[in-house]
Amino acid sequence: MKSNRFYLIMLGLVILSYLATAFIDNQYPFYAGFAILQLMVMALAWNILGGYAGYVNFGSAAFFGLGAYGAIVSYQLFAAPLIIQILVGGCVCALLGLATGYLTLRLRGVYFAIATLALLVVAETLIHNWDYVGGAAGAYILPSRTLEFLGVLIVGKEGGLFSNNKELLFFLLCNLALLTIIICRIIENSKYGRGLAALRDNEEAAESMGVPTLKLKLIATVISASIMGINGGFFPYFMTFIEPTSAFSLDISVNALAMSLIGGTATWLGPVLGAIILGTLQQIATVTISSEINLLIVGLFLVGFVIFAPDGFLGLIKKLGKRGD
């Protein structure tokens, strides 16, 4: 897609998402949409390290959870407003991404994956034992009914740009998702992205050709972690109550990974499609079939899809496209 047309479409989507909040009264689509977008951002961010660089991160939920708890700490320390909460979440995870990158990026393949899983467990245990943020009992954020910024009423029942917090969050998260897509696309088309691809295909060869693999991997980890952290920063404001088990849930890691695999890891389009397909399926299953059959469907879907379309949805499209020739 040509650059100009791409950015035009992105802008159009931003406007569309605002209009949606203005004209749809029913709150349910925003809740469901928020959940799907949250997973989409996780999948996109995961794919930067997992798809482009080939380093499978099993512990994505650690960055998400730490971003969420970074937001909580900023709220409890100095009653930070939403924007600051999100930024704190992002910064905390950027630093942590750097640190964990140094620790683990020496390891190859499956070892790296297990090390990231270990980090997830350590992070969750630390938060569980930290009483300042409530430990296992959880922490609360009480968002105010109205929100003002520089004199403009952003959230308010009458006359605000958004009539309630959920619509504001939905709009902001939409923008985060679009921003992440833009970042991914820039990476793909840049020299940096080509460097990542080289080290994904054969790290030793890339090194011998002078590609600074550790530096590239660190950058990818920091970008990936920051985005996940910002994403996590939204979570407390949305849920108003968080506790370690749901913030660090293995499901978040699994979904990030599965959505990218199902969609296709080569470009940003894969995680987006994977999130829309799997996320929507999960949302629908939650409010229709409900009960254990829900889990069965997701399981069968995963198994079936991954067997018959191992290169993801996009790979399947490509294959079918070729057959048409």
Window 268-287: residues binding another protein (CB under 8 A): 283, 286-287
Residues 172-231 touching another protein, rule: CB under 8 A, are none
By the 8 A CB rule, do 316 and 306 touch? no
Amino acid at residue number 150: L
Identified binder of another protein from the candidate list 98, 99, 107, 161, rule CB under 8 A: 107
- State which of residues 8, 109, 194, 212 lies at the interface with another protein (CB under 8 A): 109
Assess 306 for contact with another protein (CB under 8 A).
yes
With H, G, I as helix, E, B as strand and everything else as coil, classify residue 144: coil
User: How far is 119 from 183, CA to CA, in rounded Å?
Assistant: 26
Q: What are phi and psi of 249, to 5 degrees?
A: -60, 135
Binding segment for another protein (CB under 8 A), chosen from 13-21, 64-72, 79-87, 119-127, is: 119-127
Backbone torsion region of residue 202, taken as left when φ is above 0, otherwise alpha when ψ lies between -120 and 50, otherwise beta = beta
Structure tokens at 227: 């985005």
Q: Considering the rule CB under 8 A, would residue 164 count as an interface residue with another protein?
A: yes
Work out which of 15, 79, 142, 209 binds another protein, going by CB under 8 A: 142
- Binding segment for another protein among 88-96, 190-198, 215-223, 298-306 (CB under 8 A)? 298-306
Nearest CB to another protein, comparing residues 112 and 268: 112
Rg of the chain over Cα atoms, rounded to whole angstroms, equals 20
Query: Which of 113, 220, 223, 227 contacts another protein by CB under 8 A?
Result: 113
Binding another protein (rule: CB under 8 A), the pick from 262, 273, 275, 314 is: 262
**Minimum CB separation from another protein for residue 121, in Å?**
5
The β-bridge relationship of strands 152-155 and 241-242 is unpaired
Compare residues 185 and 272 and give the one whose CB is closer to another protein: 272
In the complex, what is the shortest distance from the CB of residue 296 to another protein, in angstroms, rounded to a whole number? 4
Q: Which of residues 236-255 bind another protein (CB under 8 A)?
A: 238-243, 245-246, 249-251, 254
Question: Which among 186, 219, 210 has a CA at the least distance from the CA of 94?
Answer: 219
Using rule CB under 8 A, residue 39 touches another protein: no
Q: Which helix (H) or strand (E) holds 241?
A: strand 241-242
Q: How far is the CB of 94 from another protein (least distance, A)?
A: 20
Instruction: Name the phi and psi angles at 160, rounded to 5.
Output: -75, 160
Return d(Cα 314, Cα 299) in angstroms, integer: 20
Decide whether 24 or 183 has the Cβ nearer to another protein: 24
- Backbone φ and ψ for 27, nearest 5 degrees, come out as -85, -20
Q: Compute the least distance from the CB of residue 204 to another protein, in Å.
A: 8
Using the rule CB under 8 A, is 293 a contact of another protein?
A: yes
Sequence-distant contacts of 128-132: CB under 8 A, at least 24 apart: 128/244, 132/73, 132/76
> Minimum CB separation from another protein for residue 2, in Å?
32
Identify the residue among 219, 258, 269, 272 touching another protein (CB under 8 A): 258
* Residue 4 within binding range of another protein, rule CB under 8 A: no
Instruction: Return all residues near 30 (Cβ < 8 A) that are at least 6 apart.
Output: 21, 24, 166, 167, 169, 170
Residue 60 in the binding site for another protein (CB under 8 A): no
Tokens (6 digits) for 67 = 């971003």
